[in-house]
Amino acid sequence: MLTQNTGSASENDITSTQDTQNDSIEQKKAELLKQEVSGEVEITQDQLSIRKRLLNWRTIVPLVIAVIALVIFAQKININPKLTWIAMRNANVYFVLIAFIIYYFSFPIRTFRWRMLLENIGYTKENGIQLPKFWKLLEIIYVSWFANVIVPAKLGDLYRAYLLRREAGLPASRTFGTVLAERLLDLIVLLLLFIPSVIISLHENLPPQLALGLKITMVLVVVGIIGLFMLRMFPT
């Protein structure tokens, strides 16, 4: 009886010691995260000013070149502007509306995904960090995508990190990592949809080398997905 009581007491001591160590580790993580948030050198507003980027010669010159190239290309292949406009006017409005709704409905889903990624890197209430509300994150994503449309070099992705930095005081470099992760996830899903559809629809007309390349790429994508799950299950 004395031996059993002594053993159970030692087990309780070990368990309490482990719990104490785990608590101290979590506290140290939270402190390091707060130090990173407060001490990291951030990108300034002037560096990410969309107005300055639009009025910059590095933006204007490529834009002018692209417009001239489109005009020359349209003339070379005999594109008739009048017929193009007639085709646009005769387009099925309902299909356009459905496509519009489906496209913009994806942004709330992107917002949920981005919030999950932000929480996965430690931006949680337990670590003393309060993320903006869902609608504010949705607004940030809309603004960043608009910036991607009008500004070259995908500046909108970096601008999204800056907007979250300005809204919640979070480091832009760490937040940009979640944006990069989003892009990689989009690429993986796109390849999973594109490659099988090409192989199935054009299997009779595909050159053997191209078909082999698509199959190898598909295998690499699947291996990459498995690798990501393995990293998630076994982070060490």
- Count Cβ atoms within 10 A of the Cβ of residue 199 and give its class: 0-12 exposed, 13-18 middle, 19 or more buried: middle
Give me the mean pLDDT over the 208-236 stretch. 84
In this prediction, residue 125 carries a pLDDT of 85
CB 138 within 8 A of CB 111: yes
Per-residue pLDDT band for 43 (boundaries 50, 70, 90) equals low
Per-residue pLDDT band for 38 (boundaries 50, 70, 90) equals very low
pLDDT tens for 86-122 read 888 888 889 999 999 999 899 999 999 999 989 888 8
Tell me which residue has tokens 């085709």: 87
CB 136 within 8 A of CB 124: no
Global confidence as pTM: 0.61
Angle 106-161-61 from CA coordinates, rounded to 5°:
90
pLDDT tens for 57-79 read 666 776 788 788 778 877 777 77
Task: Name which of 184, 183, 148, 152 is nearest 163 in CA terms.
Answer: 148
CB 226 within 8 A of CB 207: no
Domain boundaries, the chain: 36-171
* 47 vs 161: CA distance, rounded Å: 13
Per-residue pLDDT band for 30 (boundaries 50, 70, 90) equals low
pLDDT tens for 136-189 read 999 999 988 888 877 766 778 888 888 888 888 888 888 888 888 888 888 888
In this prediction, residue 9 carries a pLDDT of 47
CB 161 within 8 A of CB 176: yes
Residue % of the chain over a pLDDT of 70: 73
Tell me: pLDDT of 1 over 60: no
Calculate Rg over the CA atoms of the chain.
Answer: 26
Highest mean pLDDT among 6-10, 34-38, 56-60, 104-108: 104-108
Per-residue pLDDT band for 230 (boundaries 50, 70, 90) equals confident
Per-residue pLDDT band for 4 (boundaries 50, 70, 90) equals very low
Tell me which residue has tokens 């690798």: 227
